[in-house]
Amino acid sequence: MSELEPIAIVGGGAWGLSTALHLHQSGYTNITVFETADSIPSRYSAAYDLNKIVRAEYEESFYTDLSLQAIEAWKDPLFGPYYHETGYIVATSGSAPAKAKKSLETALASVSKHPVFAPGIQALDSSDGFKKYAWQITGPLKGFTGYHNRLAGYAHSANALKGIFLHCATLGIKFVLGKTAGTVTELVYTGQGASRKCTGIRTADDKVHPATKTILASGAWTASLLPSLGNFVTARSWSVAHVQLTEQECDYLRGIPVINVRDLGFFFEPDPATRLFKLCPLGAGFSNTDAEGTSIPPMVRKPQPQDFIPAEDEIKLRKLLQETFPWMADRPFVDKKLCWFADTSDSEYCIDFVPESNKSVIVLSGDSGHGFKMMPIFGKWVVELLENGEQKVDRWRWKTEDERGKDWGDGVSWRIGKGRELSELIDEARRGSLNARL
Ligand SMILES: Cc1cc2nc3c(=O)[nH]c(=O)nc-3n(C[C@H](O)[C@H](O)[C@H](O)COP(=O)(O)OP(=O)(O)OC[C@H]3O[C@@H](n4cnc5c(N)ncnc54)[C@H](O)[C@@H]3O)c2cc1C
């Protein structure tokens, strides 16, 4: 493919921006990113958020090695302003289910042996041990075990999206933003059978934008443009909540490591600009499945309220605070929301050419809730795919099996408990607010 030919990237989130950047660095000069939000950071991106964990410990070496490369790249001057290597505590509470305990043990065994991590790993099995790394903890940490990893932290994700967007714009990468001009409604094809090829995209203002390659980086929404992806990628959401701190409270908690309690949830040092303290409960998440068994976030279909978190998640977060910062445990949660990502049964990404498109369409999907940390290096894998003409990494290939409606099992360590449907949660939330009013 000539470097002058038009490339359309659908979605200006973490992976779309990274792809635009790396394509440009590899010499491609005719790149346009289409984004449905009217500014970047896009409020629809899974990374539209104060912070995301950047850690490299996985239960196997493939993603560990990639994440270590990503952490190095976060330290580059372009990405460095958004990266904070505060350290990372991983733990389970005294009442954690066996699965959470087992996955913690596996992770600890793997990092303790790893030559890069080993010097910075400290196993923790008493509350005093934890408090050595986060002296601000005043809660009991009843039955907590875990470890501290020095080589990890978080990135300010919304600021990273904004910074990389502005950088890309100065490089001459084009951006078309907004509900009408920036929303891609359709991939435009010519030909049939073996000669079928995508020649560009149509946007909500009915304009057709020609493209030699169309790259779908539209996160949890991608199956709305590419229905066959919905056979093995499901839109899923997790809850996010915040506590509004005072200036003193915010200063007091500055510098704490990211603390991830695998059966309850995780939190970060507070954001100094907004003084918000962000928390995420952990669990199997919530989907929005239609009659065919495909889950797509409600924005595309009927918009639904998403500015609440389910009662079960609120209970987990209150318990997390009682164990760590009890003075905060009864404070109201603000800016509550459900946040959507693209999940696969085995938690593998899908970075591949779309079948029956003559290699004219590439899909970047299946982030499975662990894709943001890769932002500095992700786009390199897309350039490699484009230049190799095939996906050489088996695990990132397009899946042919229809996995809808099947039991996805519990092979993935974070998928603790049972996933639920958004419609049930909305009914519950409505009943809850009705009961509160009565
Ligand atoms: C609650 C939560 C916590 C997470 N925590 C972590 C973490 O700690 N560490 C980590 O590494 N990862 C984490 N993730 C995952 C991470 O956010 C995602 O992996 C990452 O954002 C995926 O990037 P993406 O570009 O594929 O999708 P997104 O960032 O979601 O971007 C997709 C973009 O496409 C746009 N779009 C969609 N449809 C269209 C259309 N038709 N036309 C134009 N534009 C469109 C959207 O507006 C959006 O901006 C978390 C995710 C969630 C939900």
Domain that holds residue 187: 1-83+154-233+344-406
What local confidence, expressed as pLDDT, does residue 15 receive? 98
Mean pLDDT by 10 residues, the chain (438 residues): 94 98 98 97 95 90 94 97 97 93 89 89 95 97 96 97 98 97 97 95 98 98 97 96 98 97 96 97 93 87 72 95 98 94 96 97 97 98 97 97 86 79 86 62
**Closest CA relative to residue 4, chosen from 23, 22, 30, 24:** 30
Q: Which of 348, 372, 373 is the best mutation target for the ligand 1 pocket, counting ligand atoms within 8 Å of the beta carbon and taking the most?
A: 372
Assigned domain for 375 exists: yes
Would you say the CB of residue 36 lies under 6 angstroms from ligand 1? yes
Q: Per the domain annotation, does 267 fall within a domain?
A: no
Type of residue found at 396: W
CA of 16 to the centre of ligand 1 (A): 9
Site to probe by mutation for ligand 1, drawn from 177, 218, 348 as the one with most ligand atoms within 8 Å of Cβ, is 218
Cα-to-centroid distance, 40 and ligand 1 (Å): 12
Residue 279 belongs to some domain of the structure? no
d(CA 29, CA 31): 6
Tell me the β-bridge partners of 243. 277
Asked whether residue 294 is assigned to any structural domain, the reply reads no
Question: Does residue 256 sit within a domain?
Answer: no
Contact between 225 and 323 under an 8 Å Cβ cutoff? The reply is no
306 backbone dihedrals φ, ψ, rounded to 5°: -135, 15
pLDDT of residue 417: 78
SS3 333: coil
**Residue 239, domain member (yes or no):** no
Tell how far the Cα of 13 is from the centroid of ligand 1, in angstroms: 6
> What is the total residue count of the chain?
438
Buried b (16+ CB within 10 A) or exposed e, 31-44: bbbbbbbeebbbeb
* 280/97 Cα distance (integer angstroms): 18
154 lines ligand 1 (CB under 6 A): no
User: Is 218 a member of any domain?
Assistant: yes
Q: How far apart are CA 411 and CA 428, in angstroms?
A: 29
Dihedral sign for Cα atoms in the order 233, 381, 191, 29? positive
Among 103, 153, 95, residue whose Cα is nearest residue 323: 95
Does a structural domain hold residue 352? yes
Contacts of 427 (CB under 8 A, 6+ apart): none
Please tell me the predicted confidence (pLDDT) of residue 174: 98
CATH number of the domain residue 72 falls in: 3.50.50.60
| CA–CA dist 255, 299 (Å, integer) | 36
Bridge partner list, 176 = 34
- Report the domain count for the chain: 1
| Cβ(367) – ligand 1 distance below 6 Å | yes
